[in-house]
A and B are shown apart, each in its own frame.
Chain A
Amino acid sequence: MQKKTFKYGVHPPDFKSLSSGFAIETPGLPESVTLFLNQHLGKPAIPLVSVGDSVKTGELIAQQDGFISANVHSSVTGEVEAIEDFVDASGKLSKGIRIKAEKEDDWVDLVDDEKYLDLPSDEIIKRIQDAGVVGMGGAGFPCYVKMMSKNIDTVILNGVECEPYITSDYRLMLEKGEQIVAGMRIFMKVLGAKKGIIGIEENKPKAIKALHSLLVGQSDIDVQPLELKYPQGAEKQVIKACLDREVPNQGGLPADVGVVVQNVATAVAAYQAVRYRKPLIERVVTVTGSAVRNPKNFYVRLGVSFDYLLEEAKGLIAPIAKIVSGGPMMGFAMSDTQASISKTTSAIVFLRESEIVSKEEGVCISCARCIDVCPLYLLPRMIVSSAKNKLWDKAQKSGALDCLRCGSCAYVCPAHIKMVQWIDLAKAKLNERALGEKKI
């Protein structure tokens, strides 16, 4: 099939070969886990347990709060040790439930509905909601909310994984392809979509081939090869690439153009939630970087610490300069390895001094490379110069509020200007002002 792509973007080296050749491994149970109340977009969940309570694996420990929120389940069997602020996977302090794990792994009762596709849509959506399934590609948007969209003709499964280093979705596509397809079937059925597309970048030919062979004779689901380019995995970009449709800016949603996008890992989680009523308590995490002795992909319980994962990867072989939670383009730099992973943590990257760039911000030479690469056709340098001069209206006219924070502009800026942060500042000021106006 013809390769497709979106307009502009950048070509960072992918570094995926460090971990792409290793099958997903399931390490031994952790000694403790920290489960955060806000592993998703929206309101944090409300804790249902207290310190000292014993919980089973898969037991609901925090209840979703409001429409855009998600349940949190215990990922181990053990005793609630503390409910307080811990360092989360984005490096911030956030309220979480720490559970001290016991040796045995005592699960809540699961079911096995072989005819899960015959369940009524309401029931399917409810099971996805109950299981606390959220977008596992990074945004963490509650999956069930998207399942309630109307007028959807196409479901896109996002297997792009355009961030360098990360291979968790790749291994999932190689090893759990049938579950991905099953998840796709569930989404298509619930949404009434006639068409399914699995978008995969061309640097993963084995994944394309694997899914392709699973879909022989199923003409309503296509595997769409995509050109290698960042940020193709961004929701708007993957829709543009696969269908050449543009999601409206200023708050438009994929549903506005008849599309729902889900990550491939989310499809697996949704399938398990619908068929087995299995809550989302495990995920694949890539532990990688040239400083790691054995870069690998692990299927681990949510809430395990970075330390635990690093130990499973047999530690470091060289001094590191940066720990990145997520991919190096949009991920978070961590101050230590005490933090714990959440539903949206796809990788932990340990970078050496030579791999990172930490230069002083220079002077803009208006080379316009930021404008040339912006996948949303914005004017990043104008936003930044406006922000520096506190000209918020001009920042808005240059597209500040549309920015998706992909970091392509900062990646190419020869003056190493902190584009994303300046744009964030402009955004914050504009939002603050809009709020102020509303109050008046």
Chain B
Amino acid sequence: MKLVVSAAPHIHDELSTRSIMWNVVLALLPAWGFSIYYFGIQALLLTAYGVIAAVLSEYSIQRFRKVPISVDDGSAVVAGMLVAFNIPVSAPWWIPVVGSVFAMTVGKHVFGGLGHNILNPALLARAFLMASWPTAMTNWSKTTLGSISGMAGVSVDLASAKAQMLVSSATPLGVIKYLRDKNFVDGLGVTAEQGQEVAQMLMSKFASFEVVQNLFWGNCGGVIGETSVIALLFGAGWLAYKHIIEWRIPTCYILTVFVLTYVFGGINGIFSVSILFAISQIFAGGLVLGAFFMATDMVTSPCTRRGRVIFGIGCGVLTVLIRLKGGYPEGVCYSILLMNLAVPLIDRWTTPRFFGATAKRSVK
């Protein structure tokens, strides 16, 4: 009889680091399936390149560092998938490869590997790729789908070069970014009134039920992983059911974006957009992907409950700020990265009140 003598507890919850990571992979599969359905085999290949590159680079780094090889824990697979999910399907094959290698080296292992990185590796890789190959990272040529073609009908009538630009910037948020740019509208080769009219028309088109529906089902342009809200929510639901992600970060994040967009999102002052427009804005631009799969990254999000609320709201404020005032059409990536940097500070600020810490002792 060989007995194990160890300290309590002697039983353990079924979740392990490994099963958490593989559950995240599982939760990403529906969105991947949708993108393969919409974008074709290229979506499958690019993701595969990203995953293989991530796993191989983690393996080599760990060999080089002479530490135990842990590629089977699934964390490299998750990172590789998320890198690829942040890339447009028309990107060349080496974009996800370079992204994954960057994520694994600079994003993860320079800090000491799993659990030690301060920034989300996949988002860091996306920021790196955006800065290095902006054209490849914003080429939506293969993604002109339902809702955008509908919009193209409106803009093509204008028959100007600028209007064509509107079509090629084929993510919903990209179109809106152009509309916010007064110079752009002025340069459409129409009168100011007409320009305003076109802008209004397109904005209201975004507030249509049809666009919201298209965004929800994924019938619109975007990077590989961000398009289908329903598929992402399906995966997120699974993670919530498994208690792998917690509601605070995604809820606070999405609600903040929704409220701020509803209040400040219009081009005619505050409260100038409809609820449907605000909804289309939370379904667009990778917010759902970011809120459920990247802002919730355990390693780079706050530990305390109040900290998670602050983190979610912070991500939301920064996202809307970037979308409305910044130079990029969407701000999920940078807002999460910026908030990642604030995590140690947030954790320190939000130390909870311990049980009984403020309770009064009875007078004796």
Contact = CB atoms under 8 A, between A and B. Distances in A.
A308 B20 CA distance: 43
B359 A247 contact: yes
B115 A151 contact: no
A376 B355 CA distance: 5
A431 interface: no
A173 interface: no
Contacts of B246: 372
B299 A246 contact: no
B132 interface: no
A420 B360 contact: no
Given A366-B303, A377-B354, A412-B15, A257 B9 contact: no
A397 interface: yes
A378 B360 CA distance: 19
Contacts of A324: 8, 10
A295 interface: no
A419 to B, nearest CB: 9
A333 B113 CA distance: 34
A10 B9 CA distance: 12
Interface residues of B, number: 43
Contact of B15 (A376, A381, A414): A414
Contacts of B303: 366, 368, 371, 379, 381-382
B13 interface: yes
Interface in B223-268: 243, 246
Contacts of A258: 362
B6 A320 contact: no
A432 interface: no
Contacts of B354: 249, 376-378, 399, 402
Interface string A325-341: 00011111111100000
Interface residues of A: mostly helix, strand, loop or mixed?
A: loop
A52 interface: no
B66 interface: no
Interface in B98-143: 113-116
Contact of A246 (B113, B115, B304, B355): B355
B345 interface: no
Chain B contact residues: helix, strand, loop or mixed: loop
Contacts of A378: 354-355
A255 B246 CA distance: 37
A364 B356 contact: no
Contacts of A240: 355
Given A335-B3, A420-B8, A379 B357 contact: no
A248 B359 contact: yes
B125 to A, nearest CB: 19
A27 interface: no
B298 A366 contact: yes
Contacts of A42: none
Contacts of B114: 363, 365
5 smallest CB-CB distances across A and B, nearest first, come from A357-B12, A407-B9, A249-B356, A376-B355, A368-B303
Given A329-B11, A351-B10, A377-B355, 9 more contacts: A12-B11, A151-B362, A252-B356, A255-B362, A356-B4, A359-B12, A382-B303, A410-B9, A415-B16
25 contacts: A91-B5, A150-B364, A151-B362, A246-B359, A249-B354, A255-B362, A319-B1, A320-B3, A324-B10, A356-B11, A359-B16, A366-B298, A366-B299, A371-B305, A372-B305, A377-B352, A377-B354, A377-B355, A379-B303, A381-B303, A398-B351, A412-B13, A415-B17, A415-B115, A420-B8
Interface of A: 10, 12, 91, 150-151, 164, 236, 240, 245-250, 252, 255-258, 319-324, 328-336, 349, 351, 355-359, 362-369, 371-372, 375-379, 381-382, 397-399, 402, 407, 410-412, 414-416, 418, 420-421
Interface of B: 1-13, 15-17, 19-20, 113-116, 243, 246, 298-299, 302-305, 347, 351-357, 359-362, 364
